[in-house]
Every structure is written in C-alpha cells, then in structure tokens.
Amino acid sequence: MVDTAQVPAASGTPLPPADVVPPVWGRITDLVVERGEGSWLITTSGERYLDYSSGIGVTNTGHAHPRVAAAVAAQAARLLHGQQNIVYHEPGLRLYHRLQTLLPGGPWGAFLSNSGAEAVEAAVKLARIATKRPVIVAFRGGFHGRTAQAMALTTAKNVYRADFEPLPGSVYFADYPYCYRAPVAPHDPTACAAGCAHCDGCSCDWEGRLEELFHTLVYPEHVAAFIVEPVLGEGGYVVPPVGFLPRLREIADQHGILLIVDEVQTGFGRTGRFFAVEHSGVEPDILTFAKGVASGLPLSGIIAKQEILRRWRTSAHGGTYGGNVVACAAANATIDVIQDEGLVQNAQERGAQLLAGLRALKARYRTIGDARGLGLMVALEFVKPDEGDGRVPNPELTKRVVAEALRRHLIVLTAGSHVQVVRIIPPLVTTPDEVDLALGILAESLEAAGA
Ligand SMILES: Cc1ncc(COP(=O)(O)O)c(C=O)c1O
C-alpha cells in the first residue's frame, strides 16, 4: 500500500496514512489523485492516467466536465439540501420532468434516491406492493448492490453475499444466457434473430430452465417481478442474444409478472443507446438507474409506469437525501451534456472501434476466450485454452493484464464470477486517439503478462 504520508498534498499538510481507509475497500490502484479532466485522472505528483474504469461506470461525461462542475458549484452556493418531503426545488422538478421522457413508451414517472442498491430496493418494494405478490426472480451472475435485499438478488460472486446469511427470502434465480459459457459449446449471441423464442444457434436454454423453476420451486402467479441486467455488469459484461429480453417480456406478460431492468451500469448512454433496454425495443415496467446519471454525485432512482407508481401509498417509501438538490443539478447538466455533445452516438462509434481492436487481439492470443461488448461496455474473457474444454477461467492472467495496463497508465477493471474478465468502461467523451492509445497499451500489457 502507498505511504500517503509521503505524498505531496495540495494543502501542504502531510496526508494521514492510507490505512485509515479500512481494508474492506478492495483496492484497484494505490493512486492518490488530485484532479480529473475528461478521460484522465491526474495524481498529486502530476502523473496522468487514462481512466477506462470511469469510477466503475460513473463519469460518462468525463471527469469534472466544466458544465457539470459549474452547475454543481452554482447550486451549492444557493442550497445544499432541500428535503423532498418538506420542499420542492427547481433542479428536482426539472429532473423528475425529464425522467418522464428519456425512455420510449410510458407514461413514465420517477422516484429519486442515492445509490444503485437503493434504487433496487425501491424497485422491489414497488413491485411487491403493486402486484401484492411476494417472489422476485433474479438472474444468475447478476449484481444488484450491497444492501440486504440487493445482496439477496446478487449472484455475481460469493464474496458479495456469502458472509451475510440469512438474507431476505422469496428470491429465486433463473439462468442468464451467457453464450460464451453455454453448456454445449460457446456461440455468438449476435447469431440470434431478433424476437425469436429459441434464439438461433443459442443452446443456453434459459427459457427451459425458467420453466423448470416454475415447475419445481415457485408458482409463476406468486412472482412479483423479474429483475434483470440488459448486459451483465459485475457478472462479466455478458451481452445476451437480442431475443432474450423480448421473450422474457412475453413470459412476464403471460403470468402478470413485472419486468424490472437494472440499468444502474448500462444506463445514460453507456451501451450506445440512452438505456440499454432500447436495443431490444422492450418496455420494462420499472427501470433502475444510478452511476452515469449525475457524473459522480450520488443520485439514483427508478423510472416506472405511472399506473404502477401510483400503487405506492404515500410514505410507503422515501429517504432523507433522495433527490438531493445539488445531485439533481448535476444530473440535469449531465443529461444536457450527453444530448448536446452526441455522447450516445460517440459511445456507439468508440465502442465499435474498441471492440474491433479487442477482436484483433483475440485473434492473436488463444488465452483470450471471448472479446465482447455493447457500446462502451466492453470486455476480454481470459481462459486456459489447454485445460478442460478450453474455457477454464484464467483469473491469474486477468489480474496480470490489469496490473500491466496500470503500469502503463491505463486503468481498467476486472469482472466475472471467477475474476476472469477484463472490463473496459471508458467515459463516453473518449476520443479515437484515446481508444487507439488504450488498445496499444492493452497489446503491450498482454505481451508483458505472458498471454
Ligand atoms: C447493475 C447494478 N445494479 C446495482 C448496483 C449497485 O449500485 P451502488 O453501488 O450504487 O449501490 C450496481 C453497482 O455496480 C450495478 O452494476
């Protein structure tokens, strides 16, 4: 761990030692940063790092975007806290209004909270109250947060839940179509025709397994909601076949089950559409968002059908800080920037550039089992090609690649249940030159890591 007492501090006063931060915060880097601009983080000693983690998918507009920073500063000077039960404020009213129109379909309403997990809690509470049914069906490999209910829905990795049993019950798990890890053989999810029930060439059989769940564990008429990520995040940046969500929507409708899409990581332009669910044309009943909405200020919430939102009786849910006035000002500025600067389009274009580069790397290394992604949510999955069926996860190599990239001033993250995936989450403002730089660093890192 870095000795922070030796780090030059802007204030001139020595910094406290790094071990004041408890070890429960697993560390990705030991960098002490002073500021950020666009895709870059700058340390206290002036070193520049290309931040392709975006603070875990948060800084979609880049670090400290001038318009967002100005909106925050102006709001902070006027009012820091205008509690939602007590007053209305302009940034909040404007944001609630805009959230009604960001997603096709509707009519939509919204509820504002602080973190992704809190948005998930709200979605589950609303689904249960709206349907008067108890059960939630989540998907294997999913990540929904750290609070008790969100942990109970999370299966991306044992460490997120295993120490905290007993967890809230009436939660069951269905299979997510993870085409690279399909039981029979890996296959390309894009081979699937839109809207098909049994995706062409997809042997994942998630639908058959769901039927099995309904026959063995739970009656579908007891299920309040499915909760699903349109692209698995922590679970390994898994892009499902395009027919998956439309078919899930049909099954939900058949049984009166609500569809919650968790867009905490995929939302606000990340995948090359404003919300990832738009790729499939599916209308959810409830959508959760956080991360990218406010460029780094804590804000989250749900967008839900108005008729469903109305079923929440007054005071059945709330919170002291939800829809904080400064965070709302940041969110309004963030949405302006995403729209005015064409960042959704840029996510598509830079995402295609990045994925093409990763596929070229995959062609050179047998240890890269899969290169995949949607928009600027892209990943490499590392395997041991000479063991088992050739898809044995390779966490050691994954971690070496991330470490070598960091040595070359590129920040990327891991993901996947076995830590076998390098995930790359650039800010949506990233440029073609930065993408090329990152690809060059990744190529060197693969070589240095012994891929
Ligand atoms: C899909 C998804 N849902 C929920 C969460 C939880 O968000 P938070 O960490 O803000 O509570 C995350 C965080 O990574 C996420 O990726």
Substitution candidate for ligand 1 out of 264, 270, 289, 300 with most atoms within 8 A of CB: 264
So what's the pLDDT on residue 437?
98
The model's pTM is 0.95
pLDDT at 190: 64
Angle at CA of residue 62, ends 88 and 409, nearest 5°: 145
What confidence score (pLDDT) does residue 191 get?
55
Q: Is the pLDDT of residue 202 over 90?
A: no
Across the range 67-86, mean pLDDT stands at: 98
Which pLDDT tens digit goes with each residue over 206-260?
A: 999 999 999 999 999 999 999 999 999 999 999 999 899 999 999 999 999 999 9
| pLDDT tens track for 39-63 | 999 999 999 999 999 999 999 999 9
Residue 194 pLDDT exceeds 60: no
Instruction: Report the atom number in ligand 1 closest to the C-alpha of 120.
Output: 4
- The rounded Å distance from CA 233 to ligand 1 centre is 9
Which residue out of 28, 161, 291, 377 has the highest number of ligand 1 atoms within 8 Å of its CB and is therefore the one to mutate?
A: 291
Nearest Cα to 423, choosing from 330, 365, 351? 351
CA 380 to chain centre: 16
Helices (H) and strands (E) in the chain, counts: 12, 16
**CA 264–ligand 1 middle distance (angstroms):** 6
Tens digit of pLDDT for each residue in 76-85?
999 999 999 9
Q: Which two tokens stand for residue 329?
A: 């000002």
> From the alpha carbon of 291, which atom of ligand 1 is closest?
10
Atom of ligand 1 nearest to the CA of 233: 16
Cβ atoms 96, 330 nearer than 8 A? no
pLDDT of res. 198: 41
Which of 231, 265, 288 is the pocket-test mutation for ligand 1 (most atoms within 8 Å of CB)? 265
Residue 428: which of 274, 322, 198, 207 has the closest Cα? 274
Written as one letter, the residue type at 53 is S
User: Helix, strand or coil for residue 387?
Assistant: coil
**Residue 7: pLDDT over 90:** no
Sequence-ordered list of residues with C-beta below 8 angstroms from that of 130, at least 6 positions apart, any chain: 224, 258, 308, 311, 312
**pLDDT tens digits, one per residue of 265-282:** 999 999 999 999 999 999
Atom of ligand 1 at shortest distance to CA of 229?
1
| The pLDDT of residue 6 | 73
Please report the domains of the chain, with CATH numbers, ordered by start residue.
4-61+342-448 (3.90.1150.10), 68-340 (3.40.640.10)
Dist. CA 119 → ligand 1 center (Å): 9
Closest approach atom of ligand 1 to CA 265? 16
- Residue 197: pLDDT band with limits 50, 70, 90: very low
Tell me the mean pLDDT in the region 85-95: 98
pLDDT value of residue 193: 44
pLDDT band at 1; cut points 50, 70, 90? low
Q: Give the C-alpha separation, 221 to 383, whole Å.
A: 41
Residue 338 has pLDDT above 90, yes or no: yes
Please give the average per-residue pLDDT across 148-156, as a whole number: 98
Contacts for 89 with CB less than 8 Å, ≥ 6 apart: 79, 82, 325, 328
Residue 227 has what pLDDT? 98
Residues 6+ apart with CB under 8 A from 216: none
Ligand 1 atom 7 nearest Cα: 116
Ligand 1 pocket list (CB less than 6 A):
56, 115-117, 120, 143-145, 229, 233-234, 262, 264-265, 290
65 has pLDDT over 90: yes
Q: Quick one: pLDDT at residue 183?
A: 81
Give me the pLDDT at residue 2, please: 73
Write out pLDDT tens, residues 380-435. Answer: 999 999 999 999 999 999 999 999 999 999 999 999 999 999 999 999 999 999 99
Helix spans in 160-223 (H): 206-216
